[in-house]
Structure 1
Amino acid sequence: MMSLDISADNGTMTIGEKLGQISWSLIFLITLVASIGFAMLYSAANGNIDPWASRQMMRFGVGLAMMIVIALVDIRVWMKLSYPLYGIVLVLLIGVDLFGNVGKGAQRWIDLGFVQLQPSEMMKVTLVMVLARYFHGATLEDTGRIPFLFVPLALVVAPVGLVLAQPNLGTSLMLILASGSMFFLSGVRLWKFGLVIGAVLIAVPLSWQFLLHDYQRDRVETFLDPDSDPLGTGYHITQSKIAFGSGGLTGKGFLQGTQSHLNFLPEKQTDFIFTMLAEEFGLVGGLVFLFLYCLLLLYGFVIASRCRHQYGRLLVLGLTVNLFLYLFINVAMIMGLIPVVGVPLPLISYGGTATLAVMVGFGLILSAHVHRDVRMSRRGLGDL
């Protein structure tokens, strides 16, 4: 599956040697999963490559090239750039709140002239990078000191607050959960998590009353009782469950899904694309797809275990947890297990910034794999 034994410091390898060390089997698996997405977008357009499948393939091609380039860059360079990249994306988030474009009731995009960018998607990557950089070389004694955690907490609170202001509850939730995993992986003791969870539970009534928007409260109430308004706030999840269940064991067949092709299923090209897959390919098709996704997660854990430096391990584990959160939240959402929060299914759902952000994340994972044996000092960058 993966060739992982290198005895020399592979930061000194040539481009050709680095290309040889890239996990091409992982790239094949990424392409396979993305191809399933192309097929579902083709089906969502009733057997037409436009408007979704063609654009998604183009974006994936650009993302694939970016991923390979990122993989060839020394991991110590990405470590050095962690703070600057985080700062740039944070500034873009501030720009969204000040000048961003409004779509579907939320202000989440910023127009850069040549592209409309959703900085909150890029923050999912750069936040993991900056936390991995901060915790690189940290000992259990360091993470046991509460003042040591003030800086990473500030690094998390700033983007979460800006994303909540858009408003974007789903992405805020992902940022919090991914950051929490980074704190845990860095050795922060469980009792500290208990304090935070306790504070959150105390704040829930206030958040419900003063922070959540009306549509967000409607989503929670619909989750608790989806049949209370089946033609209004409960329409999305009701139609999703109907489509999901109607696929049966083997599905209705490619391009034969009635709920999606008769336009009962909303947002079939984005948030609810897995529902369409389950309707057309059934339980078997859904399980095969989830198996392929689990292989992607397994690759991440294996690569992290082979990194000799803490930055690479934390970076890969954080990005892998991020990918898991995408999958878990999206699938749980469309099955009615959690409220609808608008989280896409990476490599499958139609989307520009989200697709590129996921590909950048995979590029960093591959970079950590190629440069898994480079030498890094406890706080510095080693010999670069």
Structure 2
Amino acid sequence: MRGVGLVPEPLAQLPWRIILLVLAIGGFGLVVLYSAAGGSLRPWALSQGIKLVVFLGGAIVASRVPESWWKAGAWPVYAGILIALIGVELLGAVKGGSQRWLDLGFIRIQPSELMKPAIVLAVARFYDMLPPNEIRRWGAIWPSAVLIGLPFVLVMTQPDLGTALMIGAGGATVMFLAGIPLRLFAGGALSVAVAAPLAINFLLHDYQRNRILIFMDPESDPLGTGYHISQSKIAIGSGGVWGKGYLNGTQSHLDYLPEGHTDFVFATMAEEWGLIGGCLLILAFILVIRWGLDVGQRAESRFARLTAAGLATTIFFYVAINLAMVMGLAPVVGIPLPLVSFGGSASMTVMLCLGILMSIDRQNRRAGRRGGL
């Protein structure tokens, strides 16, 4: 039996550096949630800690799934989640004015979250099957556009602008990495720019429209639509370089900062841990994303390369959109900071992405050992 000491080979083969880094991010998130609750494990830190352990266990299980299984299951999984999104539209549970969940009695699931990695797998599978000489033809564009467009529209109707944008961005990233010409992306960007005013005025709900418009000047309505962004920037700025000290934040403890344990958890953290804490947290996420991109670069198959890069950029979009949102650089679109914000959906999605990345990494290392024989 091969292994390292008394550690079984399957455990020894795991990328423990990245697992420990993810645990460090999640553990720091628990520390922040403990403070956000006024120095209490309930109602957020304890629940989040249990979810973190469960989802990490799921990621480790996913890492043992062969790459070929992800490839074979890409389209069936996509189709199943697409059907679930249609089910949400017809039978979904309404919460907070949004219809995003399927209530199965024993569990409530949010199919739109699962679509984020599923769209990467589906589009990567399409381009893996496509002959290289077809990549610059129309037949390389419209099928993937349909694959992306269907869930995008269904999620927009829930309504969930942030998740819809992430689904579109994840699919478009795989298209770009597959080799779709830049001029087509430029044309698509121009079309979006032309259609954006119409979409803002006629397709978005009033609160979505106000969020997009107010982020350019949140001080114009500091007690209304711009309240979240204004209070978030106050919390981040008041933390300074070193922060006010753990458990000494005022914006969150005095309830000035809305959603300080979910979407705006970074502002809660920055007030107490300052610029130093914020930079270290961002660095940790950068290391995770870089590892994911490295996994893609080492992959042998086209499917694995596109999937790994797409999943790594999905994690990047989570982090980048949330940070831009809490700093007032983007509209408030309800994207949490994964592994740090309270809630299971984003953590589950990111852990699933990491599990698939670890599966591809395992395949890479096995191929490397065979090549060294």
TM-score (norm 1): 0.91
Which residue of 1 is the match for residue 346 of structure 2? 354
Distance in 2 (alpha carbons) for counterparts of 1:140 and 1:181: 18
Say what the alpha-carbon RMSD is for the aligned residues. Answer: 1.5
Query: Which amino acid in 2 is paired with 1:199?
Result: S
Of 136-145 and 78-87, more deviation after overlay is shown by: 136-145
Which residue of 1 is the match for residue 313 of structure 2? 321
> For each residue in 1:102-121, what CA deviation from the matched residue of structure 2 results, as whole angstroms up to 9, or x when unmatched?
22221111112122111111
Q: Is the partner of 2:304 in helix, strand or coil?
A: helix
Residue 73 (structure 1) aligned with residue 76 (structure 2): no
1:220 aligns with one of 192, 195, 212: 212
Conserved? CA contact 1:19–1:72, under 8 Å? no
Residue 318 of structure 1 deviates from its aligned partner by 0.3
Q: How many residues of Structure 1 are paired with residues of Structure 2 in the alignment?
A: 361
Counterparts of 1:91-106 in structure 2 under 5 Å? 91-106=83-98
Query: Which amino acid in 1 is paired with 2:29?
Result: G
Which residue of 1 is the match for residue 371 of structure 2? none
> For each residue in 1:135-165, what CA deviation from the matched residue of structure 2 results, as whole angstroms up to 9, or x when unmatched?
1154542211112322111110000000000
Counterparts of 1:124-273 in structure 2 under 5 Å? 124-136=116-128, 138-273=130-265
Conserved? CA contact 2:262–2:343, under 8 Å? yes
Query: Which amino acid in 2 is paired with 1:84?
Result: P
Distance in 2 (alpha carbons) for counterparts of 1:167 and 1:46: 33
Residues 38 and 373 of structure 1: CA distance in aligned 2, closer, same or farther (over 3 Å) = closer
Q: Is the partner of 1:175 in helix, strand or coil?
A: helix
Which residue of 2 is the match for residue 56 of structure 1? 48
Residue 277 (structure 1) aligned with residue 273 (structure 2): no
Conserved? CA contact 1:297–1:320, under 8 Å? yes
Query: Which amino acid in 2 is paired with 1:359?
Result: M
Residue 72 of structure 1 deviates from its aligned partner by 0.7
Q: Is the partner of 1:303 in helix, strand or coil?
A: helix
Which residue of 2 is the match for residue 33 of structure 1? 25
Distance in 2 (alpha carbons) for counterparts of 1:182 and 1:99: 32
Which residue of 2 is the match for residue 6 of structure 1? none
Conserved? CA contact 1:309–1:373, under 8 Å? no
Say which structure, 1 or 2, has more relative contact order (CA 8 Å, 6+ apart): 1
> For each residue in 1:338-372, what CA deviation from the matched residue of structure 2 results, as whole angstroms up to 9, or x when unmatched?
11111011101111122111111100000000012
> For each residue in 1:234-276, what CA deviation from the matched residue of structure 2 results, as whole angstroms up to 9, or x when unmatched?
1111111111100011001111100000010000111000001
Identical residues among aligned pairs (%): 44
Residue 335 (structure 1) aligned with residue 364 (structure 2): no
Residue 17 of structure 1 deviates from its aligned partner by 4.3
Conserved? CA contact 2:201–2:209, under 8 Å? no
Q: Is the partner of 1:102 in helix, strand or coil?
A: strand
Q: Which runs of 5+ in 1 are unaligned?
A: 1-14, 376-384
Of 273-282 and 114-123, more deviation after overlay is shown by: 114-123
Residues 109 and 362 of structure 1: CA distance in aligned 2, closer, same or farther (over 3 Å) = same
Of 89-98 and 246-255, more deviation after overlay is shown by: 89-98
> For each residue in 1:294-316, what CA deviation from the matched residue of structure 2 results, as whole angstroms up to 9, or x when unmatched?
11111111111111111111111
